[in-house]
């Protein structure tokens, strides 16, 4: 049995994993706005394509139909004809949610209804298309089989999608007796073999030529035609399919207009003038700033060695000026419109209400406010939890309506969460938000809740406008957490056999990749101390390489929001900055230059 | 309109097809059956000649305004028939 329970189980596992990856990547794509990463978009598209092909092979028709519609929308995103804004992504999520349900009940999925999702996805596809292409969603194109009476009836839109993937369309002709039976193969072998080299768009038997039971004893020929899409050329296809040249006919005349349109579209794609100019400008601006910074650093190095403090301070001021420009540029690059992420709170609330069979509505007002997406993405979960807690406190027979409003001034962005009707929450009711409060503190935000009779319960979160965000890896060392700046980390070693440790004149090193890496400890330099550690974070500072011994087997990635250092910490040369983790614990950013020097002094 | 279920109980492959077709012909021509269910319980494989037998049966029944239904098809046979679009000609039910 080729398609047995194991195959189905494998398909279920792989599809669930793929759907999770698709969801995750869609959120990343959505954050990018109109300037999407095309390679990521293609990755998502290909993942959905694999799901659809698998469903097709296993004849899971509803999964195939729904994944085909999702694939169509993803195809539009890949070709920049559709921006993955929150509305679009939300509809894709609805389709994906339904796919999960179909997969979960795979053996009875044919009984499940997918009409709602199909309508939404088709609407999305046709709504964004120009009028001339819009009709392709419903239009059907007839593709005749050469030298035969048969005609394939295929949606024009599907053909356009296939062409846009750079595939060629062919009609393949097989005789199931000569090409399959006489070669000791089965029809299933043939179908699977064909699908390894492209996509079977449709297929048809010449059932008339097979005749009836009365007409012949044994069929001498069984013509079978496949409408096939593949990136392979005509010549390559003859070779890989091991067929005669007359068994493959490229489809050109029946779709010549679609091929022409596709070529024109691709030519347009080659010259997205505005986008290219924008990227050029941005790159140029980065290059200029980096060049300026490098020059200023060179000058500063010279002054360090031979000039007075006065000149040095002037040089530092110049460097600060360039640094400020770089920070401004980075600040602009990381800002997105708040509504591009905040809609997820609404989706979470909708999902929560759906799962709990309750009714609730969240009204999000954030205007055109822009903020750093790294901060905003960390607010989604605690904001969701607060709204859920508020809904749970509401004493009302009608659906609870909660307002989430975002405002801003020069210093901070303020999020206010209140019930639309203050009276639905009992007087002097406060929410237990200690977990969420920690998460807000971790992004330097201030959390308060107040209650008065006129406004009822009001939750306020204030997020400062200018915070320093350091991408890094969090590790535990000697009962404390540290965030190692990402740009200093080269790799992490977790397999630390005792025989690889070396001690030479009190200098400790670890032998890896045919080199001795000097190891630096936070609180000790003893070999026995290092040998208790679970990992080594190999860092580079300038041209110095050293390893930092850590108690974490797996560093976690985070965008640390740096907090002001206390006076006591400022005097500690080992600490460059500190931040709070979502758990409420403090994490220190080590002064990597100091650690590198520590290694130098050891040497 | 008369209906009958036939259960071959073995793989529908070239070696058994002549006998199988003969039996089908008897059912359709001599017994006058116009609604035929082929029960594929116990059938794990259908080769090209076997496929031809299904299509020939469908063609014979169509001439008599009859109907062929394949029932209890295993997952791979169901998949094969669907992929080859045979479900556009006759009904296929998975076991």
What is residue A547's three-state secondary structure? strand
Provide the residue ranges of all domains of chain B, joining segments of one domain with +: 3-94
Q: What is the pLDDT of residue A138?
A: 65
For an interface test with B, the pick among A175, A205, A213 (most B C-beta atoms closer than 10 Å) comes out as A213
How many CA atoms, within 13 angstroms, populate the side-chain half-sphere of residue A173? 17
pLDDT of A484 higher than 70 = yes
- Using a CB-CB cut-off of 8 Å, the residues of chain A touching B48 are 176-177, 180-181, 186-187, 222
Homologous superfamily (CATH) for B3-94: STAS domain (3.30.750.24)
How many CA atoms, within 13 angstroms, populate the side-chain half-sphere of residue A476? 9
- Using a CB-CB cut-off of 8 Å, the residues of chain B touching A58 are 75, 79
For A30-80, the pLDDT digits (tens) are 878 778 888 888 889 888 988 887 887 777 888 988 998 898 889 888 888
Q: What is the pLDDT of residue A262?
A: 57
- Using a CB-CB cut-off of 8 Å, the residues of chain A touching B46 are 186-187
How sure is the predictor about A573, in pLDDT bands with cuts at 50, 70 and 90?
Answer: confident
pLDDT of A130 higher than 70 = no
Strand pairing class (A335-337; A248-250): unpaired
Give the residue from chain A lying closest to B45, CA to CA: A1
pLDDT of A429 higher than 90 = no
Give the residue from chain A lying closest to B90, CA to CA: A207
Q: What is the pLDDT of residue A291?
A: 72
pLDDT mean across residues, chain A: 82
Sign of CA dihedral A462, A468, A474, A477: negative
- Using a CB-CB cut-off of 8 Å, the residues of chain B touching A208 are 59
Q: What is the pLDDT of residue A42?
A: 87
Of B8, B10, B2, B59, which Cα lies nearest the Cα of B36? B2
**Could you count the other beta carbons within 10 Å of the beta carbon of residue A524?**
13
How sure is the predictor about B82, in pLDDT bands with cuts at 50, 70 and 90?
Answer: confident
Residue B86, min C-alpha distance to chain A (Å): 8
Mean pLDDT along residues A584-589 = 93
Higher pLDDT, A96 or A350: A96
For B58-78, the pLDDT digits (tens) are 999 998 889 999 999 987 888
Q: What is the pLDDT of residue A355?
A: 72
pLDDT of A107 higher than 60 = yes
For an interface test with B, the pick among A212, A225, A227 (most B C-beta atoms closer than 10 Å) comes out as A212
What is residue A417's three-state secondary structure? strand
Residue A62, min C-alpha distance to chain B (Å): 13
ipTM of this complex prediction, to 2 decimal places: 0.88
Q: What is the pTM for the complete model shown?
A: 0.49
pLDDT of A260 higher than 80 = no
Mean pLDDT along residues A135-140 = 68
Tokens representing A461 are: 């979160």
For A25-41, the pLDDT digits (tens) are 888 888 787 788 888 88
- Of B52, B59, B78, which has the smallest distance from its Cβ to A59's Cβ? B78
Residues belonging to chain B with any Cβ–Cβ distance to chain A shorter than 8 Å:
14, 17-18, 21, 24-25, 28-29, 44-49, 51-52, 55-60, 63, 74-76, 78-86, 89
């Amino acid at each position: 049995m080729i398609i047995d329970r194991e195959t189905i189980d494998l398909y279920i596992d792989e599809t669930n994993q793929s759907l999770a990856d698709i969801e995750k990547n869609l959120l990343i794509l959505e954050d990018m706005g109109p300037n999407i990463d095309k390679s990521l978009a293609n990755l998502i598209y290909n993942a959905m394509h694999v799901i659809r092909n698998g469903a097709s092979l296993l004849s899971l028709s509803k999964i195939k139909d729904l994944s085909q519609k999702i694939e169509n929308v993803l195809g539009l995103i890949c070709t920049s004809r559709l921006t993955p804004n929150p509305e679009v992504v939300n509809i894709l999520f609805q389709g994906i949610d339904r796919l999960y349900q179909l997969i979960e009940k795979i053996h009875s999925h044919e009984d499940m209804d997918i009409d709602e999702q199909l309508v939404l996805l088709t609407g999305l596809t046709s709504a964004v298309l120009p009028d001339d292409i819009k009709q392709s969603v419903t239009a059907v194109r007839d593709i005749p089989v050469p030298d035969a009476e048969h005609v394939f009836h295929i949606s024009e839109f599907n053909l356009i999608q296939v062409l846009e993937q750079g595939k060629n369309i062919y009609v393949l002709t097989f005789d199931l007796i000569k090409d399959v039976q006489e070669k000791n193969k089965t029809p299933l072998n043939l179908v699977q073999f064909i699908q390894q080299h492209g996509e079977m768009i449709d297929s048809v038997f010449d059932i008339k030529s097979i005749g009836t039971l009365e007409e012949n004893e044994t069929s001498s020929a069984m013509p079978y035609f496949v409408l096939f899409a593949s990136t392979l050329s005509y010549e390559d296809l003859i070779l890989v399919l091991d067929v005669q040249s007359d068994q493959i006919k490229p489809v050109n005349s029946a779709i010549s207009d679609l091929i022409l349109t596709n070529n024109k579209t691709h030519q347009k794609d080659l010259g997205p003038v505005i986008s290219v100019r924008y990227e050029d400008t941005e790159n140029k601006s980065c290059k200029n700033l980096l060049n300026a910074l490098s020059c200023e650093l060179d000058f500063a190095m010279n002054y360090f060695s031979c000039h007075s403090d006065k000149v040095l301070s002037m040089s530092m001021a110049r460097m600060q000026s360039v640094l400020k420009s770089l920070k401004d540029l980075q600040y602009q690059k990381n800002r997105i419109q708040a509504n591009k992420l905040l809609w997820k709170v609404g989706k979470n609330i909708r999902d929560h209400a759906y799962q709990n069979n309750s009714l609730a509505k969240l009204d999000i007002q954030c205007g055109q406010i822009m903020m750093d997406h790294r901060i905003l993405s960390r607010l989604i979960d605690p904001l969701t939890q607060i709204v859920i807690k508020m809904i749970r406190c509401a004493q009302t027979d009608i659906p609870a309506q909660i307002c989430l409003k975002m405002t801003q001034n020069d210093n901070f962005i303020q999020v206010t969460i209140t019930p639309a009707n203050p009276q639905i929450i009992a007087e002097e009711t406060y929410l237990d938000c200690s977990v969420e409060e920690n998460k807000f503190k971790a992004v330097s935000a201030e959390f308060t809740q107040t209650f008065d009779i006129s406004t009822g319960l009001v939750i306020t979160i204030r997020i400062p406008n200018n915070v320093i965000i350091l991408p890094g890896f969090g590790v535990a060392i000697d009962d404390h957490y540290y965030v190692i700046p990402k740009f200093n980390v080269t790799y992490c070693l977790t397999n630390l056999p005792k025989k690889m440790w070396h001690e030479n004149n009190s200098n400790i090193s670890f032998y890896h990749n045919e080199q001795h890496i000097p190891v630096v400890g936070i609180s000790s330099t003893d070999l026995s101390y290092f040998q208790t550690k679970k990992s080594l974070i190999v860092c580079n500072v300038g041209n110095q390489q050293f390893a930092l011994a850590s108690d974490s087997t797996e560093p976690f990635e985070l965008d640390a929001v740096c907090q002001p250092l206390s006076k006591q910490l400022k005097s500690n040369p080992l600490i460059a900055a500190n931040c709070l983790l979502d758990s409420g614990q403090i994490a220190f950013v080590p002064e990597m230059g100091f650690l590198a020097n520590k290694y130098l002094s050891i040497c | 309109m008369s209906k009958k279920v036939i259960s071959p109980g073995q793989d529908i492959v070239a070696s058994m097809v002549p006998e199988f077709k003969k039996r089908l012909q008897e059912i359709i021509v001599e017994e006058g059956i116009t609604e035929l269910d082929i029960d594929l319980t116990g059938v794990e494989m259908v080769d090209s000649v076997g496929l031809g037998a299904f299509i020939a049966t469908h063609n014979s029944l169509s001439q008599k305004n009859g109907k062929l239904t394949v029932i209890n098809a295993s997952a791979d046979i169901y998949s094969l028939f669907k992929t080859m679009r045979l479900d556009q000609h006759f009904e296929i039910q998975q076991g």
